[in-house]
Structure 1
Amino acid sequence: MERLTRTEQQRRTHERLLEAGRTVLLRRGFLAATVEEIAAEAGYTRGAVYKHFGGKEGLWLSAIEARSQAHLRLLEEALGRAASREDLVAALTPNGPVDDEDAARWSRTAAEFMAAVAGQPETAAAAVAAQRGHEQEIVAVLERTCSRLGIEPALPLSRVVVVLAALGGSLTLRRGVDPEIDVPGIVAEVLAVVFPDPGGAG
Structure 2
Amino acid sequence: MADFTASLPPELDNVPSAEGPLPSPSDLVGRPYALPIDILGERHGPLFYADFSGVRKLYACSRALVEELCDENRFAKNPMRPLERVRQLAGDGLFTAYHGEPNWQTAHDVLMPGFSYAGLRNYHGAMLDIGTQLIQRGVRYVRDRIAADADEVWELLGDPTKHTHVYVCGDGAQMAPAMRQAFIDIYRARAGSDESQARDWLIELVESDRYVEDVWAG
Decide which structure has greater strand share: 2
Q: Same fold (TM over 0.5)?
A: no
Larger relative contact order (C-alpha < 8 A, sep ≥ 6)? 1
TM-score by length of 2: 0.29
The TM-score normalised by the length of structure 1 is 0.31
- Which structure carries more helix by proportion? 1
